[in-house]
Amino acid sequence: MPFLKRRALLAGAAALPFLPRLARAASPLPAVAEKDAVIAFGHIGPVSDGGWSTTHHTGLLAAKKAYPAAKFLEVESIPVSADATRTFRQFVENGANMVFVSSEYGDLLSSVADDAPEVAFLECNGHHVSDNESWYYIQHWKVSYIIGVAAAKMSKSGKMGFVGSFPVPSVFGCANAFLLGARSVRPEATVQVILINSWFDPQAAAQAASALIQNGIDMIYTNLDDGSCLQVAAKAGIKCATWNTDMRAMGPDAYVTSLMLDWTQFYVDQIGARLAGRWAGDGHTLLPVGHGVDRDAWGRTVPPEVAAQADAVRTRIIGGWNPIQGEIRDATGKVRVPKGGSLDDIACYEWNWPVEGVVGLKAV
Protein backbone atom coordinates (compact mmCIF):
# COMPACT_ATOMS: atom_id res chain seq x y z
CA MET A 1 0.00 0.00 0.00
CA PRO A 2 1.93 3.04 -1.15
CA PHE A 3 1.41 5.79 1.35
CA LEU A 4 2.59 8.52 -0.97
CA LYS A 5 0.69 8.34 -4.17
CA ARG A 6 1.13 10.20 -7.40
CA ARG A 7 1.92 13.85 -7.25
CA ALA A 8 2.46 13.66 -3.51
CA LEU A 9 6.03 14.71 -4.06
CA LEU A 10 4.75 17.84 -5.72
CA ALA A 11 3.98 19.28 -2.31
CA GLY A 12 7.71 19.75 -1.86
CA ALA A 13 8.48 20.65 -5.43
CA ALA A 14 5.75 23.26 -5.54
CA ALA A 15 7.46 25.26 -2.85
CA LEU A 16 10.12 26.14 -5.40
CA PRO A 17 9.32 28.79 -7.97
CA PHE A 18 9.03 27.33 -11.42
CA LEU A 19 12.11 28.13 -13.40
CA PRO A 20 11.48 28.41 -17.13
CA ARG A 21 14.22 26.64 -18.99
CA LEU A 22 16.21 28.41 -21.61
CA ALA A 23 15.12 27.36 -25.06
CA ARG A 24 17.61 24.74 -26.10
CA ALA A 25 16.62 22.16 -28.64
CA ALA A 26 17.66 18.66 -27.62
CA SER A 27 18.70 16.49 -30.53
CA PRO A 28 16.26 13.67 -31.40
CA LEU A 29 17.00 10.12 -30.33
CA PRO A 30 17.82 7.73 -33.22
CA ALA A 31 14.99 5.86 -34.94
CA VAL A 32 13.98 2.35 -33.89
CA ALA A 33 12.35 -0.30 -36.08
CA GLU A 34 8.90 -1.19 -34.79
CA LYS A 35 9.73 -4.90 -34.48
CA ASP A 36 12.75 -4.07 -32.28
CA ALA A 37 10.97 -1.47 -30.16
CA VAL A 38 10.30 -2.04 -26.48
CA ILE A 39 7.88 0.38 -24.79
CA ALA A 40 7.68 0.28 -21.00
CA PHE A 41 4.98 1.72 -18.77
CA GLY A 42 5.07 2.17 -15.01
CA HIS A 43 1.76 2.76 -13.22
CA ILE A 44 1.40 4.38 -9.81
CA GLY A 45 -1.66 2.24 -8.94
CA PRO A 46 -3.48 -0.90 -10.07
CA VAL A 47 -4.76 -0.67 -13.67
CA SER A 48 -8.09 -2.00 -12.41
CA ASP A 49 -8.72 1.06 -10.21
CA GLY A 50 -11.43 2.28 -12.57
CA GLY A 51 -9.83 5.72 -12.45
CA TRP A 52 -6.40 7.23 -13.00
CA SER A 53 -4.41 4.07 -13.76
CA THR A 54 -7.21 2.62 -15.88
CA THR A 55 -7.09 5.67 -18.17
CA HIS A 56 -3.33 5.24 -18.73
CA HIS A 57 -3.80 1.52 -19.31
CA THR A 58 -6.48 2.29 -21.91
CA GLY A 59 -4.09 4.64 -23.68
CA LEU A 60 -1.44 1.97 -23.70
CA LEU A 61 -3.81 -0.63 -25.15
CA ALA A 62 -4.50 1.75 -28.05
CA ALA A 63 -0.76 2.15 -28.58
CA LYS A 64 -0.36 -1.64 -28.64
CA LYS A 65 -2.95 -1.79 -31.39
CA ALA A 66 -1.23 0.98 -33.34
CA TYR A 67 2.19 -0.69 -33.12
CA PRO A 68 1.44 -4.43 -33.09
CA ALA A 69 5.05 -5.50 -33.76
CA ALA A 70 6.47 -3.56 -30.81
CA LYS A 71 6.94 -5.18 -27.41
CA PHE A 72 5.21 -3.60 -24.43
CA LEU A 73 6.15 -3.92 -20.75
CA GLU A 74 3.74 -2.83 -18.04
CA VAL A 75 4.20 -2.75 -14.26
CA GLU A 76 1.43 -1.71 -11.87
CA SER A 77 1.39 -0.20 -8.38
CA ILE A 78 4.97 1.08 -8.29
CA PRO A 79 5.49 2.82 -4.94
CA VAL A 80 7.29 6.15 -4.77
CA SER A 81 10.39 4.62 -3.18
CA ALA A 82 13.68 3.00 -4.12
CA ASP A 83 11.56 0.17 -5.53
CA ALA A 84 10.61 2.55 -8.34
CA THR A 85 14.24 3.06 -9.36
CA ARG A 86 14.78 -0.68 -9.41
CA THR A 87 11.71 -1.16 -11.63
CA PHE A 88 12.77 1.60 -14.04
CA ARG A 89 16.28 0.14 -14.23
CA GLN A 90 14.76 -3.21 -15.10
CA PHE A 91 12.86 -1.54 -17.93
CA VAL A 92 16.16 -0.29 -19.33
CA GLU A 93 17.86 -3.66 -18.84
CA ASN A 94 14.99 -5.31 -20.71
CA GLY A 95 15.81 -3.17 -23.71
CA ALA A 96 13.15 -0.46 -23.35
CA ASN A 97 13.48 2.35 -25.91
CA MET A 98 10.85 4.43 -24.24
CA VAL A 99 9.61 4.59 -20.65
CA PHE A 100 6.34 6.21 -19.52
CA VAL A 101 5.48 6.68 -15.85
CA SER A 102 2.01 7.78 -14.74
CA SER A 103 3.06 9.92 -11.79
CA GLU A 104 5.87 12.13 -10.59
CA TYR A 105 8.76 9.99 -9.41
CA GLY A 106 11.28 12.84 -9.55
CA ASP A 107 14.86 11.75 -8.90
CA LEU A 108 13.79 8.12 -8.72
CA LEU A 109 13.19 8.36 -12.46
CA SER A 110 15.74 10.96 -13.57
CA SER A 111 18.63 9.07 -11.95
CA VAL A 112 17.79 6.14 -14.24
CA ALA A 113 17.24 8.43 -17.22
CA ASP A 114 20.66 10.04 -16.78
CA ASP A 115 22.31 6.60 -17.01
CA ALA A 116 20.40 5.63 -20.16
CA PRO A 117 20.75 8.49 -22.66
CA GLU A 118 19.44 6.35 -25.56
CA VAL A 119 16.13 5.73 -23.81
CA ALA A 120 13.28 8.25 -23.92
CA PHE A 121 11.58 8.98 -20.57
CA LEU A 122 8.18 10.60 -20.14
CA GLU A 123 6.90 11.52 -16.69
CA CYS A 124 3.26 12.37 -16.10
CA ASN A 125 2.84 15.46 -13.92
CA GLY A 126 6.62 15.69 -13.64
CA HIS A 127 8.99 18.63 -13.54
CA HIS A 128 12.41 17.36 -14.50
CA VAL A 129 13.58 17.55 -18.11
CA SER A 130 16.83 16.55 -19.80
CA ASP A 131 17.99 15.55 -23.28
CA ASN A 132 16.10 12.27 -22.95
CA GLU A 133 13.39 13.19 -20.46
CA SER A 134 10.17 15.20 -20.80
CA TRP A 135 6.98 15.57 -18.81
CA TYR A 136 3.32 15.71 -19.74
CA TYR A 137 0.02 16.50 -18.08
CA ILE A 138 -3.42 17.89 -18.82
CA GLN A 139 -4.99 21.34 -18.60
CA HIS A 140 -7.36 20.07 -15.93
CA TRP A 141 -8.12 23.54 -14.53
CA LYS A 142 -9.91 24.53 -17.72
CA VAL A 143 -12.27 21.55 -17.48
CA SER A 144 -12.73 22.24 -13.76
CA TYR A 145 -13.78 25.77 -14.74
CA ILE A 146 -16.43 24.40 -17.12
CA ILE A 147 -17.68 22.01 -14.43
CA GLY A 148 -17.79 24.94 -11.98
CA VAL A 149 -20.13 26.86 -14.27
CA ALA A 150 -22.61 23.97 -14.40
CA ALA A 151 -22.21 23.17 -10.69
CA ALA A 152 -22.97 26.71 -9.54
CA LYS A 153 -26.09 26.77 -11.69
CA MET A 154 -27.30 23.48 -10.17
CA SER A 155 -26.38 24.12 -6.54
CA LYS A 156 -29.28 25.43 -4.47
CA SER A 157 -27.21 27.08 -1.74
CA GLY A 158 -24.09 28.07 -3.70
CA LYS A 159 -22.12 26.28 -0.97
CA MET A 160 -20.05 23.68 -2.78
CA GLY A 161 -17.44 21.20 -1.62
CA PHE A 162 -14.24 19.68 -2.96
CA VAL A 163 -12.70 16.42 -1.77
CA GLY A 164 -9.00 16.18 -2.62
CA SER A 165 -5.88 14.33 -1.59
CA PHE A 166 -2.91 16.48 -0.60
CA PRO A 167 -2.16 20.21 -0.79
CA VAL A 168 -0.52 19.83 -4.24
CA PRO A 169 -0.94 21.95 -7.41
CA SER A 170 -3.40 19.47 -8.99
CA VAL A 171 -5.71 20.02 -6.04
CA PHE A 172 -5.21 23.81 -5.90
CA GLY A 173 -5.75 24.08 -9.64
CA CYS A 174 -8.91 21.99 -9.58
CA ALA A 175 -10.55 23.63 -6.57
CA ASN A 176 -9.56 27.16 -7.66
CA ALA A 177 -10.74 26.84 -11.26
CA PHE A 178 -13.93 25.11 -10.09
CA LEU A 179 -14.66 28.14 -7.90
CA LEU A 180 -13.72 30.68 -10.58
CA GLY A 181 -16.06 28.94 -13.02
CA ALA A 182 -18.78 28.94 -10.38
CA ARG A 183 -18.28 32.62 -9.53
CA SER A 184 -18.45 33.58 -13.21
CA VAL A 185 -22.18 32.78 -13.03
CA ARG A 186 -22.78 33.06 -9.28
CA PRO A 187 -20.53 35.59 -7.51
CA GLU A 188 -21.35 34.45 -3.97
CA ALA A 189 -20.39 30.77 -4.53
CA THR A 190 -17.87 29.18 -2.18
CA VAL A 191 -15.90 25.94 -2.20
CA GLN A 192 -15.10 24.12 1.04
CA VAL A 193 -12.14 21.76 0.62
CA ILE A 194 -11.46 18.55 2.53
CA LEU A 195 -8.17 16.70 2.05
CA ILE A 196 -7.98 12.99 2.91
CA ASN A 197 -4.20 12.51 2.56
CA SER A 198 -4.52 9.78 -0.04
CA TRP A 199 -5.40 9.48 -3.73
CA PHE A 200 -7.28 6.27 -3.11
CA ASP A 201 -9.04 5.59 0.19
CA PRO A 202 -12.78 5.12 -0.45
CA GLN A 203 -13.52 4.89 3.27
CA ALA A 204 -11.95 8.27 3.98
CA ALA A 205 -13.49 9.81 0.85
CA ALA A 206 -16.96 8.63 1.90
CA GLN A 207 -16.52 10.12 5.37
CA ALA A 208 -15.26 13.40 3.94
CA ALA A 209 -18.24 13.65 1.59
CA SER A 210 -20.64 12.88 4.46
CA ALA A 211 -19.09 15.60 6.61
CA LEU A 212 -19.47 18.14 3.79
CA ILE A 213 -23.11 17.21 3.20
CA GLN A 214 -23.94 17.42 6.89
CA ASN A 215 -22.58 20.95 6.83
CA GLY A 216 -24.98 22.13 4.18
CA ILE A 217 -23.00 21.51 1.01
CA ASP A 218 -25.16 20.38 -1.90
CA MET A 219 -22.58 20.02 -4.69
CA ILE A 220 -19.30 18.11 -4.50
CA TYR A 221 -16.39 17.98 -6.91
CA THR A 222 -13.60 15.48 -6.35
CA ASN A 223 -10.38 14.54 -8.10
CA LEU A 224 -9.84 11.31 -6.18
CA ASP A 225 -9.46 8.01 -8.00
CA ASP A 226 -12.71 6.37 -6.93
CA GLY A 227 -16.43 7.07 -7.05
CA SER A 228 -17.32 6.85 -3.36
CA CYS A 229 -18.05 10.59 -3.06
CA LEU A 230 -20.58 10.20 -5.86
CA GLN A 231 -22.17 7.24 -4.06
CA VAL A 232 -22.50 9.25 -0.85
CA ALA A 233 -23.91 12.20 -2.79
CA ALA A 234 -26.45 9.95 -4.50
CA LYS A 235 -27.58 8.57 -1.14
CA ALA A 236 -27.96 12.07 0.29
CA GLY A 237 -29.79 13.37 -2.79
CA ILE A 238 -27.20 15.98 -3.77
CA LYS A 239 -24.99 16.32 -6.88
CA CYS A 240 -21.39 15.36 -7.54
CA ALA A 241 -18.79 15.72 -10.29
CA THR A 242 -15.82 13.36 -10.45
CA TRP A 243 -12.51 12.77 -12.23
CA ASN A 244 -10.82 10.27 -14.55
CA THR A 245 -13.62 8.16 -16.02
CA ASP A 246 -17.37 8.00 -16.58
CA MET A 247 -18.68 7.09 -13.12
CA ARG A 248 -22.39 7.74 -13.66
CA ALA A 249 -23.26 4.12 -12.81
CA MET A 250 -22.31 4.94 -9.19
CA GLY A 251 -25.18 7.42 -8.91
CA PRO A 252 -26.96 8.29 -12.15
CA ASP A 253 -29.15 11.01 -10.61
CA ALA A 254 -26.32 12.63 -8.65
CA TYR A 255 -23.83 12.59 -11.53
CA VAL A 256 -23.07 15.98 -13.04
CA THR A 257 -20.09 15.05 -15.19
CA SER A 258 -16.53 13.87 -14.90
CA LEU A 259 -13.18 15.26 -15.94
CA MET A 260 -12.34 12.63 -18.53
CA LEU A 261 -8.80 11.62 -19.31
CA ASP A 262 -7.79 10.23 -22.68
CA TRP A 263 -4.08 9.59 -23.23
CA THR A 264 -4.60 7.50 -26.37
CA GLN A 265 -3.58 10.02 -29.02
CA PHE A 266 -0.68 11.36 -26.98
CA TYR A 267 0.81 7.90 -26.39
CA VAL A 268 0.37 6.83 -30.01
CA ASP A 269 1.98 10.08 -31.23
CA GLN A 270 4.90 9.95 -28.82
CA ILE A 271 5.70 6.33 -29.61
CA GLY A 272 5.38 7.10 -33.32
CA ALA A 273 7.84 9.99 -32.99
CA ARG A 274 10.29 7.80 -31.10
CA LEU A 275 10.17 5.04 -33.73
CA ALA A 276 10.63 7.54 -36.56
CA GLY A 277 13.62 9.18 -34.91
CA ARG A 278 11.79 12.45 -34.28
CA TRP A 279 11.46 12.22 -30.49
CA ALA A 280 13.58 14.67 -28.53
CA GLY A 281 13.59 15.31 -24.81
CA ASP A 282 13.81 18.54 -22.89
CA GLY A 283 10.17 19.46 -23.34
CA HIS A 284 6.74 19.36 -21.82
CA THR A 285 3.17 18.90 -22.99
CA LEU A 286 0.00 20.12 -21.30
CA LEU A 287 -2.77 18.40 -23.22
CA PRO A 288 -5.54 20.93 -23.98
CA VAL A 289 -9.30 20.61 -23.58
CA GLY A 290 -10.69 18.34 -26.27
CA HIS A 291 -7.37 16.56 -26.83
CA GLY A 292 -6.68 14.39 -23.81
CA VAL A 293 -8.94 16.02 -21.25
CA ASP A 294 -12.58 17.02 -21.44
CA ARG A 295 -15.86 16.93 -19.58
CA ASP A 296 -17.93 13.75 -19.82
CA ALA A 297 -21.40 13.72 -21.39
CA TRP A 298 -23.60 15.58 -18.88
CA GLY A 299 -25.54 13.58 -16.31
CA ARG A 300 -29.23 12.93 -16.84
CA THR A 301 -30.34 15.40 -14.15
CA VAL A 302 -28.32 18.32 -15.56
CA PRO A 303 -30.88 20.77 -17.04
CA PRO A 304 -30.32 21.31 -20.78
CA GLU A 305 -29.94 25.09 -20.37
CA VAL A 306 -27.23 24.57 -17.74
CA ALA A 307 -25.42 22.13 -20.00
CA ALA A 308 -25.70 24.59 -22.88
CA GLN A 309 -24.28 27.45 -20.83
CA ALA A 310 -21.33 25.37 -19.62
CA ASP A 311 -20.73 24.04 -23.12
CA ALA A 312 -20.63 27.59 -24.48
CA VAL A 313 -17.75 28.24 -22.09
CA ARG A 314 -16.15 24.99 -23.24
CA THR A 315 -16.39 26.10 -26.87
CA ARG A 316 -14.68 29.40 -26.04
CA ILE A 317 -11.91 27.57 -24.17
CA ILE A 318 -11.33 25.19 -27.07
CA GLY A 319 -11.20 28.29 -29.28
CA GLY A 320 -8.22 29.51 -27.30
CA TRP A 321 -9.79 31.65 -24.56
CA ASN A 322 -8.02 31.47 -21.19
CA PRO A 323 -10.69 31.43 -18.45
CA ILE A 324 -8.27 32.15 -15.61
CA GLN A 325 -8.57 35.94 -15.86
CA GLY A 326 -7.87 38.69 -13.32
CA GLU A 327 -8.78 40.15 -11.05
CA ILE A 328 -8.06 37.17 -8.82
CA ARG A 329 -7.52 37.55 -5.10
CA ASP A 330 -6.14 34.82 -2.89
CA ALA A 331 -7.85 33.57 0.28
CA THR A 332 -6.20 36.31 2.34
CA GLY A 333 -7.68 38.99 0.07
CA LYS A 334 -4.40 39.90 -1.60
CA VAL A 335 -4.63 40.61 -5.34
CA ARG A 336 -2.57 37.89 -7.05
CA VAL A 337 -3.64 38.50 -10.64
CA PRO A 338 -4.46 42.13 -11.49
CA LYS A 339 -7.43 43.16 -13.57
CA GLY A 340 -6.67 42.53 -17.23
CA GLY A 341 -4.02 39.95 -16.36
CA SER A 342 -4.32 36.19 -16.50
CA LEU A 343 -2.59 33.06 -15.30
CA ASP A 344 -0.84 31.19 -18.10
CA ASP A 345 -0.82 27.40 -18.37
CA ILE A 346 2.44 26.89 -16.53
CA ALA A 347 1.29 29.15 -13.69
CA CYS A 348 -1.93 27.11 -13.40
CA TYR A 349 0.07 23.87 -13.52
CA GLU A 350 2.10 25.19 -10.59
CA TRP A 351 -0.81 26.74 -8.69
CA ASN A 352 -0.09 26.66 -4.96
CA TRP A 353 -2.40 29.20 -3.34
CA PRO A 354 -6.18 29.17 -2.83
CA VAL A 355 -8.30 31.84 -4.51
CA GLU A 356 -10.75 33.89 -2.49
CA GLY A 357 -13.81 31.73 -1.82
CA VAL A 358 -11.87 28.46 -1.61
CA VAL A 359 -11.89 27.55 2.07
CA GLY A 360 -9.78 24.91 3.76
CA LEU A 361 -6.62 25.14 1.66
CA LYS A 362 -3.55 27.03 2.78
CA ALA A 363 -0.96 28.50 0.45
CA VAL A 364 2.23 26.41 0.43
Partner 1 sequence: MSVVSGLLSNALVSGAVLALAGLGELLAERVGVLNLGVEGLMALGAMSAVAAVSGTHDPAVGVLAALATGAAAGSLFAFATVVARASQVLCGMALTMGGMGLAATLGRPFAGQPSAATFPVLPIPLLDRLPVLGDALFRQSLPVYVAFLILPLFLHWLLFRTRHGLALRAIGENPAACDAVGMKVLPLRFAYVVLGAAISAGAGAYLTLGFVPSWSDGVTAGRGWIAVALVIFAGYRPWRIVAGALLFGFVGALGYLAQARDWGIPSAFLGMLPYLVTLLFMMLPALTGRGRVAAPAALGVAYYRDQR
Query: Which one among 8, 196, 307, 328 touches partner 1, defined by CB under 8 A?
Result: 196
Amino acid sitting at position 343:
L
Binding mask 268-307 for partner 1 (x = CB under 8 A): ----------------------------------------
Binder of partner 1 out of 59, 126, 148, 161 (CB under 8 A): 161
Decide whether 112 or 168 has the Cβ nearer to partner 1: 168
**Whole-angstrom Cα distance, residue 228 to residue 330?**
30
Q: What does the alpha-carbon distance between residue 196 and residue 166 come to, in Å, rounded to a whole number?
A: 7
**Nearest approach, Cβ of residue 79 and partner 1 (Å):** 12
Instruction: Please state whether the peptide bond connecting residue 327 to the residue before it is cis, i.e. omega within 30 degrees of 0.
Output: yes
- Answer yes or no whether residue 227 interacts with partner 1 by CB under 8 A: yes
Q: Does 194 bind partner 1 (CB under 8 A)?
A: yes
Regarding 198 and contact with partner 1 (CB under 8 A), the answer is yes
Shortest distance, position 275 Cβ to partner 1, whole Å: 31
Residue 359 engages partner 1 in binding (rule: CB under 8 A):
yes
Q: How far is the CB of 11 from partner 1 (least distance, A)?
A: 10
Burial of 85 (0-12, 13-18, 19+ CB in 10 A): middle
Handedness of CA 78, 79, 83, 89 (dihedral sign): positive
Closer to partner 1 at the Cβ: 112 or 204?
Answer: 204
50 binds partner 1 (CB under 8 A): yes
Using the contact rule CB under 8 A, the part of the chain among 17-25, 89-97, 120-128, 199-207 near partner 1 is 199-207
Backbone angles phi, psi at 240, to 5 degrees: -155, 140
The reply on whether position 201 binds partner 1 by CB under 8 A is yes
Q: Alpha carbon of 89 to those of 96, 109, 141, 157, 347: distances in Å?
A: 10, 9, 34, 53, 33
Among 45, 323, 354, 357, binds partner 1 (CB under 8 A): 45
DSSP 130: B
Q: Does 51 bind partner 1 (CB under 8 A)?
A: yes
Q: Does 195 bind partner 1 (CB under 8 A)?
A: yes
**Whole-angstrom distance, CA of residue 190 vs CA of residue 157:** 10
Task: Spell 220-229 as b/e; 16+ CB within 10 A means b.
Answer: bbbbbbbbbb
* Residue 228 within binding range of partner 1, rule CB under 8 A: yes
Question: Which of the stretches 149-157, 220-228, 260-268, 346-354 binds partner 1 when contact is defined by CB under 8 A?
Answer: 220-228
| Number of Cβ atoms within 10 Å of the Cβ of 19 | 7
Site string for partner 1, 91-120 (x = CB under 8 A): ------------------------------
- For the chain, the straight-line distance linking the first and the last C-alpha, in angstroms and rounded, comes to 27
CA distance 364 to 357: 17
Among 85, 90, 130, 207, binds partner 1 (CB under 8 A): 207
From the list 212, 219, 238, 271, which residue makes contact with partner 1 (rule: CB under 8 A)?
212
CA-nearest of 98, 72, 53 to 261 is 53
What values do phi and psi take at 220, rounded to 5?
Answer: -120, 140
Q: Is 157 in the site for partner 1 (CB under 8 A)?
A: no
Q: Are 354 and 176 in contact (CB under 8 A)?
A: yes
Of residues 29, 39, 54, 313, which one binds partner 1 by CB under 8 A? 54
Binding interface with partner 1 (CB under 8 A): 1, 45-46, 48-51, 54, 161, 167, 192-198, 200-208, 210-212, 214-215, 217, 226-228, 231, 245, 249-251, 359-360, 362
